[in-house]
Amino acid sequence: MEREKEVLLTREGLRKLEKELEALKTVKRREVAARIKQALEFGDITENSEYDDAKNEQAFVEGRIAALERMLRNARVVDESDVQEGVVSLGCWVRLKDVETGEELEYMVVGSAEADPLEGRISNESPVGRALMGKPAGTVVTVQAPDGLIRYEILGISLGPARSASGAAPDRVSS
Q: Phi, psi (5° rounding) for residue 149?
A: -85, 140
What local confidence, expressed as pLDDT, does residue 135 receive? Answer: 95
CATH class of 7-77: mainly alpha
Fold of 81-158: Chitinase A; domain 3 (3.10.50)
Q: Are 79 and 72 in contact (CB under 8 A)?
A: no
Return all residues near 95 (Cβ < 8 A) that are at least 6 apart.
Answer: 104, 105, 106, 154, 155, 156, 157, 158, 162, 170
Q: Phi, psi (5° rounding) for residue 129?
A: -60, -45
What local confidence, expressed as pLDDT, does residue 170 receive? Answer: 46
What local confidence, expressed as pLDDT, does residue 162 receive? Answer: 60
Return all residues near 80 (Cβ < 8 A) that are at least 6 apart.
Answer: 91, 159
Closest CA to 64 of 24, 27, 113, 31: 24
What local confidence, expressed as pLDDT, does residue 2 receive? Answer: 59
Q: Which residues pair with 9 in a beta bridge?
A: 77
Q: Where are the domains of the chain?
A: 7-77, 81-158
What local confidence, expressed as pLDDT, does residue 1 receive? Answer: 53
Sign of the four-CA dihedral 95, 161, 172, 146:
positive
Could you tell me the pTM of the whole model? 0.72
Order of all β-strands in the sheet with 93-98: 121-123, 104-110, 93-98, 148-158, 140-145
CA-CA distance, 136 to 140, in Å (whole number)?
9
Q: At what angle do helices 29-40 and 49-73 cross, to 10 degrees?
A: 160
Instruction: Flag residues of the chain having pLDDT under 50.
Output: 163-175
Q: Phi, psi (5° rounding) for residue 23?
A: -65, -40
